[in-house]
Structure 1
Amino acid sequence: MKRFYIIIAIFCCFATAANAQFGAGGGSSIVGKISGTLIDSVTKKPMDYASVGLYRSGGKAPITGVVTDEKGNFKLDGVKPGSYKLAITFIGYPTKIIDPVVTTDSKPDKNLGQVLVSPGQKVLKEVTVTGQKALIENHIDKLVYNVEKDLTAAGGNASDVLQKVPLVAVDINGNVSVRGDGNVRVLINGKPSGATAASLSDLLKAIPADQIKSIEVITNPSAKYDAEGTAGIINIVTKQTNMSGLSGSVSGGFGTRQNNGNANINYTKNRLTLSANIGGNFTWPQTSITQSFQDFHPDDATHTSQTSNGTSRVKRYSVLGSFTAGYDFNKYNNITSTFRVTDGTFNTNAQSFNSKTDFIDATNNYTDTSRTLGHNSFGGFDWNIDFTHKFHKEGEEISLSTQWSHSSIVTNYTNMFSSTFANQGDNIDGINNEYTVQLDYTLPINKVLKLEAGGKEIIRRISSTSNVFSPDSAAGGALVFDPINSNLYNYNQNVSAGYAVLTVTLPKSYTILAGARLENTDIHGDPINQSQALSPFSQNYNTFIPSLTIQKALSSTQTLKLSYSKRITRPSLQYLNPFLNQSNILVQSVGNPNLDPETSQTVELNYNTFIKSSVINFSVYYKRNDGLIQNVAKVITVRDGAVGDSTSGTLTKYYNIGTNNSFGASFFGSINPIKILTIRGSVNAFTFDPTVYPLYSFYQTQNSVRISYNAFLSGSVTLNNGFIAEVFAVENSPRYTIQGSNPAFSILGAGVRKQIFNKKASIGINTIEPFSKYKDFNSSTVSPTFTQTSKFEFPFRSVGLTFSYTFGKVSFSNPQQQKKGLNDDQKQGDQGGIGAGN
């Protein structure tokens, strides 16, 4: 019962207030828009690329803003009812203030019509474009990449899109990292998914880019968020609708490498909202080329080398579907439920030619061929039910969220050798059930203070069954079930958490976001095997997670932010599972049930400015990782069936190897040198300088300070008649460990799109790596007793056609004008999740 103390305490603190106000409060969830057209008072011509900033009446810090289009039109969306002021700035014009601009529940939309702006003598050096729906936006607690604005995203998947998000890198296997740290927490609409625990890389390939509205990168999360993930949080926000009526869209792409399709339909009537979405990805069979070399010299009497050359053919498909239903009981109470299902598979057919050279005794030399057949599948569902109650005081609300995530991943493989090693098969079936209950409360105490507090309980139940098949001489060498080497692993994890965050708005445009979170983790693992005497293990520990952000608005166009955060990475099942993985007999791996969690602390200084229609963001940061988790490879002896002797191989196991102090800097910018051209770029560089514990110092061969980086550059041109063209390049340097490096990664791509049917449809063509059929990925591992290198050539060149079409009839009229009484109020605009990227 200890796990529930935090949640019960927090709930009791607010129970009296909730009971007194429940069902009788205020706090409108209605959102509207403020629009108009800027006209030069002298020339009577529209003012394009002027800045319109939105402030609270009497406020000094901008809430959001936009840049006018070529006809001088502007529109500020997502505006809650209230009293505001507009600040209009443009080069050569004095700032024009309109105050107040009032919107209400009954009239949430305000059209100012033509707004005349007089020219003046004062020339402004900078103008505000805060909140513009540009490709990249910077918020106080996150960076937002608006996928809807990315031309080359069409026809791709979430993994493709993430490669272009600033600070994020994706390797050839689909592993995601932020600022070089792979311990990332990935959310979908602000919630974890059980599918990410089973196979994150496969899930990302299953999400069509056309389903994604934006991607949020939170490098220094406040205490409100789960502390899991030392690198921070990536939140994938999917497209939703807040329009009245029936609408939908169909989109997709067909190409030489992969094919994508996506369809969604949305219906809103009175207080009921329904939406459904289905998308899929199918990859044509792809053949990769593999090469590896191992050189073993554990002592003066032993020196051998092994080479392997082969091919690997992979076929892949995946499907993702969801259904959401929401209902507003009245103006203050809302319930929403989402059911999301995933399914996918990929099959592998690999062949290789292997040889061994013994430099001491040539009679141990051999050559061999091998074949591996693999079948991998993943699937599951996430079911969320969320209830929100808004109180009488504006901004005060309490929400209860629940989620059940179920996922499974099945890995079946068969290794067959011509002579040297014994054939082997293994069927691995993993099941993950995750149950979550979360309570959150928000209270704006006054204009200066806002309190957020809550509690959360996560219950994880994971099991992994490995059924090994070995040759049986009585069955003519056929593979039969091997109970001695088969195993079962049960893993239970409970995480109880409570948090409080205080936002303080101070004079002189200072804002402070301070919080604290306490998490208790209780773990129990139970390995079962007939041949290994493995004992159950348990862990229980508390983690205190403070967070602090101080932001200063230097001007309406410049922001300076200093932040501190602490994060934790709990070892997952693959890190802890103590059973030996022999899918590659010469390169084996095993988990470590004694792993401790890895923690990180990050201090970051960030500067953001807008100059006319351009944006510049620059950060410097220091990050310390304690209990750094890395895999360490050691030499082992493998029985050589061909000559009755033995040969050398490697065994990789995860350890807490030490600490790492990293310094880094990141930059991204967007400029418009001419009206039709937009150039965007980002780069992130950081150091790797670990201090290894004495127990593992023998294995360390990477002793010097290493610098890694990832960079992105793109240019887009908007032409007449609905034509848009873009080219981009991605470059990721190698990532380093104490024993070597992981592969570098780069991509070059381009696309052209034509909008048709009054922009309700579009067709386009995209290409990836047009000048090279294969991409090379090289890695190395070096220890005092062996050297291991590998080369992987993956077919990347592709050309594809993309299309999209939207349909339906929707109404943007204010539904409040047609309703009577509070019970008929309709909720609009809430996108859910961490944020909608507005």
Structure 2
Amino acid sequence: MNHIQNKLSRVLILLSSSIVILTSAQQKDTIKNEKKIEEVKITRSAVKFKNGKIIVSPSSTATGEANNTWEFIKNSGYADASEEGTIKIKQKYTTVYINDRKLRLSGLELKNYLESIPSKLIKNIEVIGTPDSSYSADEQAIIKINLINSSIEGLKLSIGSVLGFTKKMNMSQNLNLNYKSKKFEINTLLSGSHTNILTEVNSQREFRTNIWDITQEQDIKRSSNIYSFLVNYYANKKNKLSLYAEYNPANTQSKLYADNGLPILERISRKDSIFKYNSAFKDVGKSTNLQLNYKFENDSATQKLNVQIEYLNTNKKTNNSFKNYYYQAPEFIDGNQIDDVSSRSINMYIGNLNYTIQTKKLGIWSAGGRISYSDVNNPINITVNNLVSQESIQNYSEEQYALFLEGQKEFGKTYVRLGMRYESNITNFFDNNLKSNSFKIDGFYPNVLVQHNFSDDFQIESSYKKALIRPDYFLLNQLRRKNSDDSMLYTSGNINLRPQIEHEVDLSFYYKTQMLSVGMNYSPNYISTLIVKRGDYLVQEYNNFRLMTLYASLALNKVFKDKYIIKNYFNINYLPIIEYEGFEKGRTSLAVNNRTVLGIVLKNGYAAEASYSFSTDFYDGFFKHGATNNLSITIQKKIPHLNLTTYVIVSDLLRGQKNYDEAIYPIVYKNSSYSDTRGIKLGLYWTFGNQKLKEIKKDESLTNDLKNRNKK
């Protein structure tokens, strides 16, 4: 993995050197042929509310060119993104699409991936709180990232690089090449990032009849890369063919050191366990994605056909190697050497078809279907002192069939969308003894959305959606294993996990660029986790809860004089129902999250942005979660005649991004930690090339005049 990272870094260094040599010779032609870079302006048109979508473009922020895609989503003002890589829209877990390609990533993997893509490549994002029936039933909310299709012909190259300093050094770099002719468009992205974060943890754990106070330190290194290639072929105005290929290797390594205290006389006399713990964790994997798209659109755009074929392969290998050192007077002695090795292999084949027809009387109708097949292999081998201790071989295969029908129509100022989706899932499971088990999940999943426009500035929207969320295959494996991030916690899946059914109701008010949403999510079998005592150990297990969430989200987005911007995204939610069989619920309280973004465009190409977020203490019935805060500042400088943007980012100035969890049911479990993300990042984004504008943009005022004449 390191040699790939080094090669990519060398390539970028060589390219940067070449650019410096070529720039002096080509600078005049480049400036002549490039579109003129104007002073940054923040305009209200950068945000639109349309038919259940909130469309946000990078021009809605002062420092859009300094951000990556993750930062852009986080500071968009209409989504809640945590430092742990979780994205929520109106308290619903969110799936991310790039164009028409679904990202099958979550948590820090998703965050690392999106941090590798500069927001400079984004045309806009669509924030979709209630997805239509063309999306899978398990997708509660969606952020669709639409990348820029070049409107100019020729060759264009962009280079970005970021160097960060915390207690450890972090770096990332990306290279984007775009070539466009009359028939073809080719877009490549090479991107890599390397992060090194030191995490300090203090915890208390119940173990046997004792309570252990444990201090541990974890040094985590993560590397991720993207190598992607997109070809668009425009046969004519009606037909477009696209081929996308991506290779994404990733590498995570961590070393964990834990110590539960000194061997003082009092502890020795009561024969208390005293230990030190070391572990080395490696997670090395790669994924390959191929996608073929065919789009047809007739001259009047009243009929559209989209056919998509996709193949996804993911291979990961994890090795968690650990050892305990127990105290036996007068010294520590070695415990057992344990190695936990697992592989995760997924092959997925997907076919999608979507046909849309637009009529004057009946509105717009869409119909389509989906067929997919996947097989999953998950062998696990645990050895103690190089001897086999536990072994688990679990293989799965799944077939999925789906059909949908949806209609949408505007009745005066009211827009109505009605959709129905049918899904059938057939899963086959094989365990160690080659015993098979099959089960089938099928059902109908409706969604309804109504939006009424009282004026151009004020709309009300209401929606309902039924969702199905299937448990991850890896949550079904019951094998008890040591948690790689904790010296005293084990994890275990649950073969009896049931799929999660969720009913979602939402009412939203939109005024100009402001939004207020209130709603409810209810699930009779919500998939979640709880820590329980099994014998002498604490085990994190997965099971089905009964859960109801009530929420309110408020988004304020105000622009002043095209130079100043204030964004505020406020969330509050409450759990009136949270039940887990066999455990008595404790206290529940309101959970409050808030993010404020202040931006200003200064003279001479300077812009600045400050982002401050906080969450309050809250109780969810089983755990108390501690408050957090994060303050980051970005300063950007544009140099138009060089097509260069430079920037400085200072993160977590208040050292407030801490994590605290404490069980409030009858068990001793406390965990407080801080992953040191404080630091300074220095970055640049440089664009150059020889592209010529082929399309003349119509003057908006002239277009409006023509429309008014036609009305007369």
Q: TM-score higher than 0.5 here?
A: yes
Aligned residues of 1:549 and 1:563 also touching (Cα < 8 A): yes
> Structure 1 residue 268 and structure 2 residue 150: aligned?
no
What is the 5 A alignment of 1:731-770?
A: 731-733=614-616, 737-742=620-625, 744-758=627-641, 760-770=643-653
- Correspondence for 1:599: 501
Q: Which residue pairs with 2:673 in the alignment?
A: 792
CA displacement 1:244-283 (0-9 Å, x = unmatched): 2222211222221432212111111111111111111122
Could you tell me which of 395, 400, 414 is aligned with 1:495? Answer: 400
CA contact (8 A) 2:408 2:418 kept: yes
Q: How far 1:305 sits from its partner (Å)? A: 0.7
Using the aligned pairs only, state the percent identity: 17
- Aligned pair in 2 of structure 1 residues 462, 150: CA closer, same or farther (>3 Å)? farther
Deviates more, 1:233-242 or 1:790-799: 233-242
Partner residue, 2:351: 437
Deviation at 1:537, TM superposition (A): 3.1
Task: Say if 2:251 is the partner of 1:379.
Answer: no
Instruction: Report how far residue 352 of structure 1 moved.
Output: 0.9
Structure 2 match to 1:217: 127
Q: SS where residue 203 of structure 1 aligns?
A: helix
**In structure 2, the residue corresponding to 1:366 is in which secondary structure?**
coil
What secondary structure, in the 3-state scheme, does the structure 1 residue paired with 2:350 have? Answer: strand
Residues 757, 206 of structure 1: CA spacing in aligned structure 2 closer, same or farther, 3 A cutoff? closer
Distance (whole Å) between structure 2 residues aligned to residue 572 and residue 528 of structure 1: 19
Q: Deviations over 1:455-493 (max 9, x none)?
A: 00121211112122211xxxxxxxx151x4022221222
Q: CA deviation at 1:164?
A: 2.6
Match of 2:455 among 532, 555, 566: 555
> For the residues of structure 1 that align with 2:241 and 2:618, how far apart are their CA atoms?
45
**CA displacement 1:128-172 (0-9 Å, x = unmatched):** x87x12xx4433222234346545566665444443344544444
Whichever residue aligns with residue 632 of structure 1, its letter is L
Query: CA separation in 2, counterparts of 1:734 and 1:525?
Result: 42
3-state SS, counterpart of residue 174 of structure 1: coil
Structure-2 separation of matches of 1:211 and 1:376: 30
Match of 1:450 in 2: 364
Q: Secondary structure at the match of 1:223?
A: coil
Decide whether the 8 Å contact of 2:252 with 2:282 is kept in 1.
yes
Q: CA 1:228 to 1:553, structure 2 compared with 1: closer, same or farther past 3 Å? A: same
Partners of 1:201 and 1:213 lie apart in 2 by: 20
Letter in 1 for 2:424: N
Corresponding residue number in structure 1 for 2:476 = 576
CA distance in 1, matches of 2:498, 2:543: 9
| Mapped partners of 1:70, 1:148: distance in 2 | 12
Paired residue type of 1:264: N
Are the aligned partners of 2:395 and 2:430 in contact in 1 as well (CA < 8 Å)?
Answer: yes
With over 3 angstroms needed to count, the CA separation of the structure-2 counterparts of 1:634 and 1:377, relative to structure 1, is: same
Contact 1:342–1:379 (8 Å) recurs in 2: yes
| CA distance, structure 2, for counterparts of residue 165 and residue 379 of structure 1 | 30
TM-aligned CA distance change 1:309 to 1:551, over 3 Å: same
Shift of 1:403: 0.5
How far has the Cα of 1:551 moved from its partner? 1.3
Q: 1:361 to 1:167 in 2, by over 3 A?
A: farther
The amino acid of 2:395's aligned partner reads: N
Matched, 1:668 2:558: no
Q: Is residue 490–residue 539 contact of structure 2 (8 Å, CA) maintained in 1?
A: yes
Residue 636 (structure 1) aligned with residue 534 (structure 2): yes
- Point out the more displaced range, 338-347 or 391-400: 391-400
1:251 to 2:160 alignment:
yes
Letter paired with 1:312 = Q
Distance (whole Å) between structure 1 residues aligned to residue 454 and residue 285 of structure 2: 50
Aligned to 1:709: 592
* Residue among 214, 232, 235 paired with 1:308: 214
CA distance in 2, matches of 1:750, 1:510: 42
User: SS at 1:793's partner residue?
Assistant: strand
The match for 2:101 among 188, 191, 196 is 191
| DSSP-derived class of the 2:475 partner | helix
Distance 1:409 1:674 in 2: 51
Please provide the CA RMSD for this pair: 3.0
CA distance in 1, matches of 2:108, 2:475: 13
Structure 2, unpaired ranges of 5+? 1-37, 328-334, 697-712
Aligned equivalents of 2:663, 2:63: Cα separation in 1: 36
Tell me the TM-score normalised to structure 1 length.
0.72
Structure 2 residue 423 is matched with structure 1 residue 528: no
Alpha carbons of 1:310 and 1:70: their partners in 2 closer, same or farther (altered >3 Å)?
closer
Note if contact 2:624-2:664 (Cα within 8 Å) is conserved in structure 1: no
Match of 2:226 in 1: 320
Is residue 695 of structure 2 the alignment partner of residue 779 of structure 1? no
Aligned length: 646
Query: In the alignment, what sits opposite 2:29?
Result: none
Q: Secondary structure in 1 aligned to 2:84?
A: coil
Normalising by structure 2, we get a TM-score of 0.84
Work out which of the residue numbers 168, 193, 202 in structure 2 matches 1:281: 193
Structure-2 change in CA distance of 1:633 and 1:70 (3 Å): closer
Give how far 1:409 is off.
2.3
- Please give the per-residue CA displacement for 1:342-361, whole angstroms capped at 9, x wherever unaligned: 11212111111025999999
Cα contact 2:127–2:144 (8 A) shared by 1: yes
Partner of 1:50: none
CA distance 1:394–1:691, change in 2 (3 Å): same
Q: Matched residues in 1 for 2:377 and 2:174: separation?
A: 33
The alpha-carbon deviation at position 411 of structure 1 amounts to 1.6
Aligned 1:349-498 pairs, distance under 5 A: 349-354=255-260, 363-391=270-298, 393-419=300-326, 421-446=335-360, 449-471=363-385, 480-482=386-388, 484-498=389-403
2:176 alignment partner AA:
N
Residue 337 of structure 1 is matched in structure 2 by: 243
**CA–CA separation in structure 2 for the residues paired with 1:775 and 1:550:** 39
Deviation at 1:732, TM superposition (A): 3.3
Structure-2 separation of matches of 1:661 and 1:771: 34
SS at 1:578 equivalent: coil
Contact map agreement 2:62 2:565 (CA 8 A) in 1 = no
Q: How far 1:179 moved relative to its partner? A: 3.7
- Residues 453 and 460, structure 2, Cα contact 8 Å, conserved in 1: yes
Post-superposition offset of 1:222:
1.5
Distance 1:623 1:194 in 2: 23
Q: Deviations over 1:700-720 (max 9, x none)?
A: 33344x222321111111122
Find the partner of 1:624 among 522, 526, 530: 522
Q: Distance in 1 between matches of 2:117 and 2:461?
A: 33
SS in 1 for 2:113: helix
Whether the 8 Å contact between 2:297 and 2:303 is mirrored in structure 1 is yes
Q: 1:167 to 1:571 in 2, by over 3 A?
A: farther
Alignment check: 8 A CA contact 1:703 1:738 kept: yes
- Between the aligned partners of 2:143 and 2:387, the Cα distance in structure 1 is 42
Q: How does 1:36-51 map to 2 (within 5 A)?
A: none
Matched-pair contact (CA < 8 Å) for 2:66–2:647: no
Amino acid at match of 1:425: D
Name the structure 2 match of 1:146. 57
Note the C-alpha offset of 1:453.
0.7
- Give yes or no for contact 2:396–2:430 (8 Å, CA) kept in 1: yes
Residue 414 of structure 2 aligns to which amino acid in structure 1? Answer: Y
8 A contact 1:550–1:563 mirrored in 2? yes
Mapped contact 2:578–2:621 kept (Cα < 8 A)? no
Aligned counterpart for 1:803 among listed residues 681, 684, 690: 684
Distance 1:163 1:733 in 2: 18
Q: Which amino acid aligns with 2:250?
A: G
Structure 1 gaps, min length 5: 1-68, 75-128, 297-301, 472-479, 638-647, 816-838
The answer on 1:519 being equivalent to 2:423 is yes
In structure 1, distance between residues paired with 2:613 and 2:401: 40
- Inter-CA distance 801–635: structure 2 relative to 1 (3 Å threshold): same
